[in-house]
Amino acid sequence: MLRIVPFPHPALRYESRPVAEINDELRANVREMFELMYDARGIGLAANQVALPYRFFVLNLTADPDQPEQERVFINPEIIKRHSSVEDEEGCLSFPGLYAKVRRAKRIKVRWFDLDGNTQEIDAEELESRAIQHETDHLSGRLFIDMLSPLTRNSLNGKIREFETKFRRAQAEGEYPADEEILRQLNAL
C-alpha cells in the first residue's frame, strides 16, 4: 500500500529510473497514486513521493476525482523547450501546508509516454506548465524548496526544520525505516 512520504524522506531526493515496461503493476500504482492525490487535495503526484524510484507522475489540474477525463499519466517525461519565466506560488504534498513563490518557465514543450505506451507531446502554459515542471523536478530529486530565493528560503527554514524533526521522530518510533534501509529498498526495486 502506497502513501505520500513527507520531507526529508530519502525517496524525495532519489534520482528516479526510467520506466522500462508498462504493466499491470504500474497501472495499479497509478490508480492508487490518483486516489492518494485526491485525498490530499493535490493536482499532481510523482512516483518518488510514494517511495517508488521510477520516472512517472500523475496529474489532474482540477483535483476532482469526478473528472477522470482530466487525469493524465506522464511516463518518462522530458521537457524539451522552455519559454520565458514567471513567479507564482507553489505547494507540495510532501510539505503539507507550506507554500512559497517559485520562478519557473512560463511555457514549456513536454514529451512523454501515456499508459498505452503512446508518445505524447504538448505545449503547456500557466498552471499546467508549472505542475509539469514541479513533478518532473521531483523525478530528478529536486524539490520546490530548492528553487526558492535565499531570502524566502531563510524565512521558511523554521517550518522546514519542523518537517525534518517530525520525520525523524516518526523514524525513531518505527513508522519509517532508517535512511540507509530506505535507500537499500529503493535500489532493490
Domain architecture of the chain: domains with CATH: 10-188 (3.90.45.10)
Cis before 8 (ω within 30): yes
- Please name the residues in contact with 15: beta carbons below 8 A apart, sequence gap of 6 or more: 140, 141
pTM tops 0.85: yes
134 is in an annotated binding site: yes
Question: Are the C-beta atoms of 95 and 105 separated by less than 8 Å?
Answer: no
CA-to-CA dists, residue 138 to 39, 45, 146, angstroms: 20, 9, 11
Cell of 180: 540507509
- How far is Cα 152 from Cα 89, in angstroms, rounded to an integer? 12
DSSP, res 156: H
Write out pLDDT tens, residues 29-45.
999 999 999 999 999 99
Residue carrying C-alpha cell 503547456: 124
Question: Are the C-beta atoms of 72 and 41 separated by less than 8 Å?
Answer: no
> pLDDT above 70 covers what percent of the chain?
100
- Residue 69 is a catalytic residue: no
Catalytic hit among 15, 90, 135, 164: 135
> What is the pLDDT, as a whole number, of residue 177?
97
- How far is Cα 59 from Cα 40, in angstroms, rounded to an integer? 13
83 is in an annotated binding site: no
Write out pLDDT tens, residues 61-100.
999 999 999 999 999 999 999 999 999 999 999 999 999 9
